[in-house]
Amino acid sequence: MIPRILVTGSNGQLGTCIKDLDDNKFDIKYVSSSDLDITNNQEVESFFEQQKIDWCINCAAYTAVDKAESDYDSAFNVNVFGVKNLAEACRSYSVKLIHVSTDFVFDGEHNRPYKESDPTNPIGAYGKTKLKGEQEVSKALKEYFILRTSWLYSEHGGNFLKTMIRLSKDKTELGVVGDQIGTPTYAKDLAKTIFHIIANDISDYGVYHYSNNGVASWYDFAKAIFDINNTKIQINNISTAQFPTPAKRPHYSVLDKAKIETTLKLKTPYWRDSLIAAMQNIKNE
């Protein structure tokens, strides 16, 4: 039987990447916040009752990291209440949940890649709400996947790759932070992993880390973008202190992928290879 799948937050960059890869092997219903308000418990309940779905992929999230500092209630509403509503509906209607989370659940004080079992300690409002959302999932369900990812970018929406390309069109010089370390992750690679879980009906439930492979700073990421694009621009390696933001960022947020690679028998692509593929797709568009 063809799995019936609900994708929430379908207009965001991950939701759009899932649409891009949809080859009609599954029966997928895509909903944005205007189609389904996940913060409204009754709306979620009645939606699940009517739709009869097998899997829910939750891509809906409040992701404005800096804005969350001054708009905590809105972030909490989507990232905690919304997730709680989905998780409880999944429990009531025997739906398996794939919930997307973030490296921001960690404080960034490590000097080795974070494992799923490492203690969480978010340092900002966004990370705190995402962690509370994870806790709502694990409290309500046994059949769930929480996929923590980092530095997500794609051809779609607003992200670091698109911003760098846009800025390079009218600037000859840019300062980019070089003392925050992580791994850029192509949203289409994450989307493929999600499809892999469903297609193989994997039942090794729990928390997993997924990003591309390798380690980079934002400066390294920007440099790679301009190198691949043959863009002549002066990039200056600046410190976090020189580029203050309302929200503190983890200084180190590399994720350990050993669990997902071993359990799901996956090889995570190297970040620069995926960046080349994404930029080729942008050119082709």
Catalytic residue among 114, 126, 153, 252: 126
Burial of 113 (0-12, 13-18, 19+ CB in 10 A): middle
Coil, helix or strand for 196? helix
H helices present in 150-217, as ranges: 160-167, 187-199
The answer to whether 128 and 105 have CB atoms below 8 angstroms apart is no
Parallel/antiparallel/unpaired status of strands 152-153 and 181-182: unpaired
Instruction: Based on the residue annotation, tell me whether 126 is a catalytic residue of this protein.
Output: yes
CB 187 within 8 A of CB 153: yes
User: What does the block give as tokens for 112?
Assistant: 């080795």
Active site residues: 126
